[in-house]
Amino acid sequence: MDIAFSRLESEVAKFVLSESIPAFANSFRRTMISDVPKLAIEDVIIYDNNSALFDEMLAHRLGLIPLKTNLSEYKKKSECSCGGEGCSLCESVYTLSAEGPCLVKSSDLIAQNPDAAPVTGEIPIVKLEKGQKVVLEAHAEINTGLEHAKWQSTLACGYKTYPVITIGDNCDACGHCADECARHVLKLAKKSVEVIDGKLIDCSMCKLCEKACVGSGWEDAAIRISSDNTKFVFVVESDGSLPVKEIMTYALTDLKDKSDSLVDVLTNISGAL
């Protein structure tokens, strides 16, 4: 299996996974979405809240704020030595205190550990009128997207199969397909249409070109769109809590660890028989 990046930044990655199978691409995607842990606010102690939002709505909004996560610093509450009670190894504590009139934003959330602060300070939480007040304490913990979407570290995470465009000999260079293409993948050359260099990856496989080709009088379309089932074009976006590279590495390590432990267990079984 090979991986070739066309873009790799801290929050976005685009790459082509080749010599693979659809099941692997899908497992990789599912693992990145649901099995990579991150911090999110789970418990909120509300001391004072006479804002327009109910306590539970406020707690829900707080939970969805992405928090910067250092996975080596925190562990899951259920696996912590404190036994799930909550300690500095498995919990990050925040305080919020605001009095109206104002717009309470994520920057008002003061983290005890500055490394676990909200990703951006611009997320609105609640609008307060004169005399309204919110005072609370929030506890964030590590968990995975399988438990709740607030612990999902990817935003857009998906793939498509690599497009394959075949242009037959019966192409008469009428150009209808190139006009029809919404992604501007095709161009008109002397004798037939051609794929513009480097544009193939943009093809969404909508098959409008095939329809245009049949519509222009051919019984059998000269242009055919198919897909390569061994190559996958991935887009992975992070919400900022973890860098994309770490999300990918964690997901692959997770799949690898599962396989390794399965090998161990099966070796024990065949040894016992």
Radius of gyration over alpha carbons of the chain, in Å?
A: 26
Could you tell me which stretch among 42-50, 89-97, 234-242, 260-268 binds another protein (CB under 8 A)?
260-268
Contact between 157 and 237 under an 8 Å Cβ cutoff? The reply is yes
Q: 66: closest CA among 158, 157, 152?
A: 152
Is residue 76 within 8 A of residue 146, CB to CB? The reply is no
To another protein, the closest distance from the beta carbon of 264 in angstroms equals: 8
Tokens representing 185 are 């993948």
Q: Does residue 253 bind another protein (CB under 8 A)?
A: yes
Q: Which residues contact 25 (CB under 8 A, 6 or more apart)?
A: 17, 159, 232, 234
Q: Are 124 and 199 in contact (CB under 8 A)?
A: no
Q: Which stretch binds another protein (CB under 8 A): 60-68, 84-92, 205-213, 253-261?
A: 253-261
Q: Which one, 129 or 147, has the nearer CB to another protein?
A: 147
Find the binding residues for another protein in span 22-81 (CB under 8 A): 22-24, 26-27, 30-31, 34-35
> DSSP letter at 51?
S
Identity at 193, one-letter amino acid code = V
- Interface residues for another protein in 220-249 (CB under 8 A)? 245, 248-249
145 vs 163, beta carbon nearer another protein: 145
CB closer to another protein out of 20 and 106: 20
Q: Residues interacting with another protein, by CB under 8 A?
A: 1-3, 5, 8, 17, 20-24, 26-27, 30-31, 34-35, 245, 248-249, 252-253, 255-256, 258-263, 265-267, 269-270, 273
